[in-house]
Structure 1
């Protein structure tokens, strides 16, 4: 009988112990996330070009900090310590809401994939710490070099605490609405009247070949506030060259444009800006997708009954929405289109 009572008492004690343990376990505090001292930014000075959207990513080293993390810009100020409302207030910017892939059939289809949102012009992605400088019509309010620019701090936090990265620098460069550019990034003034194509090989009327980039000049000209891109060719005396001479050019797919109009002086497209629209590789871009890619081609029979493939290539970007003209100036000679 004593044995039975003892077993019963032991059973009661075990049950009470389990209940007590379960109760204690419920009251244990939740595990807190950590903020590590080895978390840091690998880049602390940012020099975006105004007038274009620029993403600074893969610049934060998480170290042993627990994720998710929250980031925000705090204490944005000028280099002299004054408030900088131009960088703390929100402004309308154009943001992709759909995926651009280069198969869109109209400007309307492209615009349906974009929307207007309000953001600070220099923004931070709240969970990665990446920065973005947005393209905006309000960019002209931002202090650009040679001004010393801005100083700001970043607050990183999670449930385990917070950490500050102080005295980071924002030193924007002046707008350059196209690349390659003949504009100085500090003064914004032109250093030449034109830029060079990417590559060229063409026969000249006087027997010499266009085979260096300096043999042809490319001039950018803004003619209005619309959505068009016009391509022209001129000889050394500025006389127009008929685009139809470049008869192996894929004019319909030269750029991601619409409503092409071609005559004996120019080729014009309706386009959406910027060009290219994103860094996604398409039939209209370089392999990386970073630049638009145009090739003008024609063939002729050279001396000795040799088939000669002539070409001119140009990789470029245009950031500012407008009516733009691209003029290819053969400054030394006129291309030879006839057979020998």
Structure 2
């Protein structure tokens, strides 16, 4: 092949690849001008709830309250400009307080009080705050009637700033109207005034209990339940009283599983009471455990006994009580039989 032929072949090759090189160059240049992906903030995004009414003294999570409407996540939420009913800045909603925060999951299988307490720590938080990227509100149990105003006061007004890289929006004049603190459930307190309604608290249920004197079936209204705080420790005591307020020996409830009645420790059982060391609140979190209702929202007690009825037929009887205690202390729950005493003896 002579030199002329080589030159002609090289020219053809150069002409052939030149459009390809040009196309690649143009694509590279165009790439610089293509629009980059940007976060979007849908103008239809909204809070589905604008008035929040938690009960003071209880850690309450208020969730499923924001509809992002296809806005790019994560969004960032911030409470701004909290005001009291006079329209003035409310420092009590901004100031950090000591609150108990779980750092490890509570399971209901903890073997000691120290093991439970080792799973939570004290942190500084505003009493009412919004979770940064979910929009959920949380009222901490440290909030009480001595710090925050509650109904019937109109409460607080606040705004929420919501942002992402695509935009910013303010949701104005949202409301916080807490109910007054009620340290236990069930209770006889008016949720707005806090006054005593003088309402009877009864067991959740009674089964097969027969009156000793009347020989009639006992009903929930035949019992009063009293829940009271008597000290500042960490204990829970159960007492049973007959119609004239004499103590009923807990051993008469001979089918009761005292070791798993509550998630408590160092049980002390006497002829007049049963006492445990416990962590508060009760239940500690809203998950099902052997000590709670099926939904985990309340502690569940079962007191039972057996006796022989007519014809030597075995009868199993007792009662149930579901409850909450939100405030730390030495608490007593007293069960008083107001109409007739249960018959524990065999026929």
TM-score, normalised via structure 2 length: 0.93
Q: Secondary structure at the match of 1:140?
A: coil
Q: Secondary structure at the match of 2:17?
A: helix
- Could you tell me which residue of structure 1 aligns to residue 77 of structure 2? 71
Deviations 1:50-105 (A, max 9, x none): 00100111121121211111111111111321110000111110010001111101
Paired residue for 1:326, among 300, 316, 333? 333
The unaligned stretches of length 5 or more in structure 1 are none
- 1:93-242 correspondence to structure 2 within 5 Å: 93-136=99-142, 140-192=146-198, 194-201=200-207, 202-242=209-249
Paired residue for 1:37, among 24, 43, 46? 43
Change (3 A) 1:194 1:260: farther
- 1:279-290 correspondence to structure 2 within 5 Å: 279-290=286-297
State the distance in 1 between where 2:84 and 2:22 align: 66
State the distance in 2 between where 1:92 and 1:24 align: 57
State the distance in 2 between where 1:138 and 1:313 align: 30
Tell me, yes or no, if the aligned pair for 2:214 and 2:340 is still in contact at 8 Å: no
Tell me, yes or no, if the aligned pair for 2:211 and 2:218 is still in contact at 8 Å: no
State the distance in 1 between where 2:79 and 2:258 align: 47
Deviations 1:123-147 (A, max 9, x none): 1111110111001166521010000
Q: Secondary structure at the match of 1:310?
A: strand
- Could you tell me which residue of structure 1 aligns to residue 342 of structure 2? 335
Larger radius of gyration: 2
Q: Secondary structure at the match of 2:27?
A: helix
Tell me, yes or no, if the aligned pair for 1:98 and 1:114 is still in contact at 8 Å: yes
The unaligned stretches of length 5 or more in structure 2 are 1-6
- Could you tell me which residue of structure 1 aligns to residue 319 of structure 2? 312
Shift of 1:163: 1.5
Tell me, yes or no, if the aligned pair for 1:193 and 1:219 is still in contact at 8 Å: no
Shift of 1:19: 2.9
- Could you tell me which residue of structure 2 aligns to residue 268 of structure 1? 275
Tell me, yes or no, if the aligned pair for 1:52 and 1:136 is still in contact at 8 Å: yes
- Aligned length in residues: 340
TM-score, normalised via structure 1 length: 0.95
State the distance in 1 between where 2:220 and 2:40 align: 56
Deviations 1:100-129 (A, max 9, x none): 111101110001100111111111111110
State the distance in 1 between where 2:80 and 2:206 align: 50
State the distance in 1 between where 2:12 and 2:80 align: 68
Shift of 1:206: 1.0
Deviations 1:193-236 (A, max 9, x none): 65111001311111344542211110011110000000000011
Cα RMSD after superposing both structures: 1.8
State the distance in 1 between where 2:315 and 2:66 align: 52
State the distance in 1 between where 2:69 and 2:272 align: 60
